[in-house]
Structure 1
Amino acid sequence: TPLMMACTRKNLEVIQTLLEHGANPLLRNKDGWNCFHIASREGHPEVLQYLLDVSPSCWDTESTTGRTPLHTAALSCFCLLSRCQYKPDSRDSCGVTPFMDALQNGHVGIARLLLDKHQACPTAVDALGAQALHRAAVTAQDGSIRFLVSELGVDVNGRATSLQLPALHYAAKEGHGHTIQTLLSLGADVQAKDGKGRSALHVASAGQRAEAARILLRAGLQDAPDATGMLAQQLARRPDVIQAFQGTQVST
C-alpha cells in the first residue's frame, strides 16, 4: 500500500497525510506485514511513535512466519519495548527469538536492551535446538559471542541440535577462521566431538574450508576417525584443503 511504501522511506510527513486521509494502518501484505512491521524493520523511532499514537494496536501483529515487529526492529527497539506488550522471547515459526536475531546480526546493544527491559533468555533455543551462541557462530559475529560468553556466562562448549554440535563446529562449517580463533580464546574445546564422533576438523574438511582446517590443526587438533572410521582428511577434495593436512599426524 502507499502507507507501507512511505514507511519503507521513513517519510513521516507522507505517513501523516495518508493516515489523515483514511489509510488503514492494519492492512497486511502477502507476507503478513503491516505498516508497523515495516517501520520497525527500517528503525525510525519517530515513525513508530506516531503509528502507535494513531493506532495503538498496530504493534500486535505477526507475519505469516510468526515474526513480530520486535524480531525485525533495529534502533527502534527501545520504543517497542517501552510501549508494546510483547511476550518475552516471542518466537517465529523457526523458534527464533528477537534476542537471537539481534545477536546473529551483531546488534549487542539491542540484545542488552532485550535482557534489561524484556527479560530475554540468553540460552533459549530455536526449533532445532540452537542457542544465540550457535547462531552467532554461523554469522561470524565475534562481538556477540564475546558478549554471551564473557559477560553473560553462556557455556562456550554448549551443544545444539540432536547432533550435539558445539559453536566451534558451526564456525568451522562456515569457514570463519577469526570466529574459530575467538571461540578458542574464550575456552572452546578444540577436541570436542559431536554426536557422530566428528571433530571441528571433520566439519571444516567436509565443507572444503582450508583456512579453518589450518587454524584447527595449528591449535593442536589432530585428525582422528569419527564414529564410522572416517578421517577428516578423507573428506578433503580441494587442493588447498588436501595440502592443509600434509605432514600432519593422525590420532588413533
Structure 2
Amino acid sequence: MAERERPRRLLRLVQEGRLDLLRDELHPEDIPEARSRRWGRLGDTLLHHAARMGHRDVLEFLVRELGMDVEVANGDYKRPIHEAASMGHGECVSFLLERGASVDCLKKADWTPLMMACTRKNLEVISSLVEHGANPLLRNKDGWNCFHIASREGHPEVLRYLLDVSPGIWDTESTIRRTPLHTAAMHGCSRVVELLLERCHYRPDSRDKCGVTPFMDAIQNGHLDIARMLLEKHQACPTALDALGAQALHRAAVTAQDGSLQFLVAELGVDVNGRATSLRIPALHYAAKEGHGHTILTLLSLGADLQAQDGKSRSALHAAVAGQQAEATRILLRAGLRDTPDGSGTLAQQLARKPEVIQVFQESQVTT
C-alpha cells in the first residue's frame, strides 16, 4: 500500500512546492519513474504540475537534478511553458526559456504560450515571451491571434503593448471573419472597444460570416454603453442587416435584451414592427418563439403590432405554440391574440404538443 501511495505523495509535494520534502522523498532508484510518470487523463508530468503551480525552485530541481525535458508534452501537446504562461508565472516562464523551451510551441488547437499568456493581464510574462522571439501574429485553429484573445479578456494594457511591438496586429479576422472589435463588443469590454476605435482602423459595420456587426453584438448582449460608443465614434448603423436580413432589433428579441429594445425603439427610432428575412418576420415573433414573456410585453409596450403576420400568414401565437412556449402563449392570448379569427382552436389542435400549452388553450376557452 505504501508503495502505491508513493507516486501520489510525490505529486502532492510538487503541487504544494515542498522542495525540501521532495528531496528527502526521492531516492536514486525512484528517479527514472518520477521522470517518466504521468498523471490524469491528459498525462501531465511533474514538470507540468510544477509549472502550473508556479514553483520555480521545484521546476529547477526537476530539470537540473532529475533531468526532465522542458519540452515534454501531455496528451494535448501542452508543454510546461504553456502551463506557466497561462497561469502568469513569470519566473517559471523565464527559467524554461533559459533552458531552451520553444517559445512558439503549439498545443492542441494551435495555441502558443503567448496566446495563453494573453488570457491574463500579466505584461511581465507577455513581454518576456515577445523578447525571446514569440511571434504575436501566429493564429490558432480558430484564426485568433494573441491580440484577438486579449480583446476578449478585456485587457487594454496588454493591447497597447501588442500594438507597440506589432502595429499591424489589429488587422486580423477569425476563420468566421470576426474581428477583435466584434469580440470586445460581444463581451462587454468597453475600455477595449474605446482603445480599438482610437488606435485601430476597423471599417464601420464590418460583418462576420453571419453578417453580424459589432453593434449587433453589443445590442444582443445588452452592452448599451458600447452600442452608444459605436454609434458616436464609429458611425455604426442601427438598422444594418445580417446575412439573413435581421436587424439588431430582431437579434435583441431573440436574446431577451429588453433594455436594448427600449434603446433601439424609444431612443433611436427604430421601427418596432420592422421585418426580418425573406419571410418578413417581426421581432414579436422571435420573442414568442423563444418564450420570452417579458420581452413580448416590452415589445407590445413599444407599439408592436399584436396582429402582425409574417410572410406565411403566421401570427406571434403560431410562433409561441410552435416553440411549445406555454407562458408566451398565455401572454399573447391574454393580450387578445387568437389562433383563428373565430377562435375555433385550429392552431392548438395542430401545433400544441406539450400538456402545458394545451392547458393554456383550454383555460383560454373557459375564460372566453
TM-score by length of 1: 0.95
Residue in 2 that maps onto 1:86: 202
> Where has structure 1 moved over 4 Å in runs of 4 or more?
none
Structure 2 CA distance, aligned partners of 1:223 and 1:81?
A: 49
Which structure carries more helix by proportion?
2
Residue identity matched to 1:161: T
Shift of 1:230: 9.1
Residue identity matched to 1:40: S
* Unmatched tracts of structure 1, length 5 or more: none
1:167-178 aligned at under 5 Å gives the runs 167-178=283-294
Give deviations 1:172-218, integer Å, cap 9, x for gaps.
01001111111111111111100011000001001100000000111
Residue in 1 that maps onto 2:223: 107
Query: How many pairs were matched up?
Result: 246
Structure 2 CA distance, aligned partners of 1:247 and 1:177?
A: 18
Match of 1:197 among 305, 313, 322: 313
Residue in 2 that maps onto 1:233: 348
* Structure 2 residue 180 is the aligned partner of structure 1 residue 63: no
Alpha-carbon RMSD: 1.4
Secondary structure, counterpart of 1:8 in structure 2: coil
Secondary structure, counterpart of 1:39 in structure 2: helix
Structure 2 CA distance, aligned partners of 1:127 and 1:172?
A: 22
Shift of 1:22: 1.3
Shift of 1:16: 1.4
Contact 1:222 1:248 in 2 (8 A): no
Contact 1:104 1:136 in 2 (8 A): yes
Residue in 1 that maps onto 2:13: none
Match of 1:134 among 228, 243, 250: 250
Match of 1:221 among 312, 328, 337: 337
Residue identity matched to 2:360: A
Shift of 1:247: 5.0
Residue in 1 that maps onto 2:266: 150
Match of 1:22 among 121, 124, 133: 133
Residue in 2 that maps onto 1:160: 276
* Structure 2 residue 145 is the aligned partner of structure 1 residue 34: yes
Residue identity matched to 1:20: E
* Structure 2 residue 213 is the aligned partner of structure 1 residue 97: yes
Contact 2:123 2:158 in 1 (8 A): yes
